[in-house]
C-alpha cells in the first residue's frame, strides 16, 4: 500500500482513522455533564493537535534519526508564520500559496543556520541552534519591526493590497483565509442527544496535511537516506573511517526538519492570520523537544502522541480552576471539600506545568522509549496473557 510495508501501512491507517474521527474521539462526555470539562473536540484545539504534530514529526527526523538535538526549531516555526501572513497581505487569502512560501522560506533559513551549526556536534550544536533562535526572536521583536510589527505581531489589515484578492469584503470586514473559496473557519455542528460534534474545515485541511507529512516521514525512515541518518547517530566516527562524509546527510535532515517546522508555522497562520515573535522563543523550541521525548524519540507515531498530550494539558488542565474543583467535590462535607480542592489546586489551572513535569519525570524514568514504549509493553503483556491462556494444558485427574 503506497509503497509501505504491512506494519507501516497499518500504522498509517491508524493515524488516518484517529485524525478523521477526532471530533468523536475527543468528545467522549455529554456536553451537559460535569466531565465535559475534559472534552477536547473543538476546532481550535484539534487544529493545534495536528499542527504541532507536524512540528514534532519534523523535529523527530533530525533528533530521532541523527541524534542532533536542536534547541532552535521555533525559529523556523516563526519564519513560516511570518511568511504566510505576508503572503496573505500581498497576494490573496488563499492558504495554498502561503503554505508553499512558508515551507520554502523556512527551508532556506534552515539551510543557512544548519550550514553554520552543523560544524559542531553534541552540546555545542545545541547551543548554536539556541543562539540562532534567540537572535531570530530578538530581530523579530525589535530590529525587524517594519517586517514583523514587533511585539504587536504581524496581522492582515484593510489597507493590504492583496493583488489577487479583495482588501475588504462587501460589508467592509477583512477577508478570511480560504482554500479556493472554502473558508477555514467554516464548521458544522452535529448534535446527537447530549453530544455536540463539530466538524471544521480548517481542522480537516490541517489533518490531511499532517497525514501527508506522516506518510513522508515513514518513507524517509525506511529509505536508504534514513539508514544513513541512523548510522550517523550510531557512530559517526566509523562513517568517517569508511570514507563517507556525514555532513551532507545531517544538513539535509536539518533542512527537511526545518521545512516541517515552516509548514506547521504556515498552517498556524492559515488558521489564524497572525504571527508574533513569541513563536520563536526558546520555550517553544523546548516544547517540541518535550513532545518528541514524551511520545518516543525515533519512533514514527510517538511525536504525534507527545504533541497531543502536551497540548491537551496546556488547554484542558489549565482551565480547571477552583470553581470547577468545588463543583466536582460539592457532594462532600464542606471541610473535606475544601481540603480536596486545596490538595489538587497546585496541579491544575496555572499549575498544569507541575502535573506535566511529574508525568515527564515518570516517563523518562520508567519508559525511556516514551508513550510508544508504554503501549508496546501493554500489548506485549496482553499477547503473553492470551498465549498463556491458549497454551494452558487441560487439567487431568489421576486414574483410579
- Annotate 160-225 with DSSP letters as a single string: ---TTS-SS-TTSPPPPPEETTEETT-EEEEEETTEEEEEEHHHHHHHHHHHHHHHHHHHHHHSHH
Q: What gap in Å lies between CA 245 and CA 255, rounded to an integer? A: 17
Domains and CATH numbers, the chain: 6-315 (1.10.3470)
Position 400 scores a pLDDT of: 35
Q: Which of 261, 209, 361, 279 is nearest to 60 (CA)?
A: 261
94 DSSP 8-state letter: B
Tell me how far CA of residue 283 lies from CA of 74, 121, 131, 286, 385, in angstroms: 8, 22, 13, 5, 43
Position 290 scores a pLDDT of: 92
Give the pLDDT confidence of 39-93 residue by residue, as tens digits. 888 889 999 999 999 999 999 999 999 999 999 999 999 999 999 999 999 999 9
Cα–Cα–Cα angle for 260, 263, 266, rounded to 5 degrees: 155
Q: Chain-wide mean pLDDT for the chain?
A: 89
pLDDT band at 325, cuts 50/70/90?
confident
Give the pLDDT confidence of 94-126 residue by residue, as tens digits. 999 999 999 999 999 999 999 999 998 889 999
Position 172 scores a pLDDT of: 80
pTM value is 0.91
pLDDT band at 375, cuts 50/70/90?
confident
pLDDT band at 390, cuts 50/70/90?
low
High-pLDDT (> 70) share of the chain, %: 97
Is the pLDDT at 394 greater than 60, yes or no?
Answer: no
pLDDT band at 326, cuts 50/70/90?
confident
Amino acid at each position: 500500500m503506497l509503497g509501505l510495508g504491512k506494519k507501516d501501512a497499518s500504522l498509517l491507517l491508524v493515524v488516518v482513522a484517529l485524525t478523521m474521527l477526532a471530533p468523536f474521539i475527543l468528545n467522549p462526555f455529554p456536553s451537559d455533564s460535569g466531565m465535559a470539562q475534559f472534552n477536547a473536540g473543538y476546532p481550535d484545539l484539534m487544529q493545534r493537535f495536528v499542527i504541532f504534530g507536524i512540528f514534532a514529526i519534523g523535529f523527530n527526523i533530525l533528533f530521532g534519526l541523527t541524534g542532533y538535538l536542536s534547541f532552535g526549531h521555533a525559529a523556523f516555526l516563526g519564519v513560516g508564520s511570518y511568511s504566510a501572513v505576508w503572503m496573505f497581505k500581498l497576494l490573496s487569502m488563499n492558504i495554498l500559496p502561503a503554505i508553499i512560501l512558508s515551507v520554502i522560506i523556512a527551508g532556506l533559513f534552515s539551510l543557512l543556520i544548519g550550514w553554520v551549526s552543523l560544524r559542531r556536534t553534541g552540546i555545542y550544536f545545541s547551543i548554536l541552534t539556541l543562539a540562532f533562535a534567540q537572535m531570530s526572536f530578538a530581530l523579530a521583536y525589535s530590529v525587524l519591526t517594519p517586517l514583523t510589527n514587533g511585539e504587536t505581531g504581524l496581522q492582515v489589515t484593510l489597507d493590504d493590497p492583496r493583488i489577487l484578492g479583495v482588501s475588504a469584503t462587501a460589508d467592509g470586514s477583512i477577508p478570511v483565509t480560504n482554500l479556493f473559496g472554502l473558508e477555514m473557519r467554516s464548521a458544522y455542528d452535529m448534535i446527537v442527544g447530549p453530544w455536540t460534534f463539530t466538524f471544521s474545515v480548517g481542522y480537516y485541511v490541517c489533518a490531511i496535511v499532517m497525514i501527508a507529512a506522516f506518510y513522508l516521514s515513514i518513507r524517509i525512515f525506511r529509505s536508504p537516506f534514513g539508514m544513513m541518518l541512523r548510522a550517523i547517530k550510531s557512530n559517526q566516527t566509523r562513517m568517517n573511517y569508511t570514507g563517507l562524509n556525514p555532513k551532507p546527510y545531517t544538513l539535509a535532515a536539518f533542512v527537511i526538519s526545518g521545512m516541517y517546522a515552516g509548514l506547521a508555522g504556515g498552517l498556524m497562520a492559515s488558521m489564524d492570520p497572525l504571527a508574533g515573535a513569541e513563536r520563536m522563543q526558546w520555550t517553544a523550541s523546548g516544547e517540541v523537544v518535550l513532545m518528541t521525548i514524551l511520545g518516543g524519540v525515533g519512533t514514527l507515531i510517538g511525536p504525534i502522541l507527545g504533541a497531543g498530550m502536551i497540548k491537551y494539558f496546556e488547554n484542558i488542565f489549565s482551565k480547571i480552576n477552583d470553581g470547577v474543583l468545588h463543583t466536582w467535590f460539592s457532594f462532600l462535607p464542606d471541610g473535606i471539600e475544601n481540603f480536596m480542592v486545596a490538595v489538587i489546586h497546585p496541579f491544575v489551572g496555572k499549575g498544569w506545568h507541575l502535573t506535566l513535569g511529574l508525568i515527564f519525570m515518570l516517563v523518562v524514568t520508567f519508559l525511556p522509549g516514551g508513550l510508544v514504549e508504554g503501549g508496546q509493553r501493554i500489548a506485549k503483556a496482553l499477547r503473553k496473557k492470551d498465549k498463556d491462556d491458549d497454551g494452558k494444558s487441560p487439567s487431568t485427574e489421576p486414574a483410579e
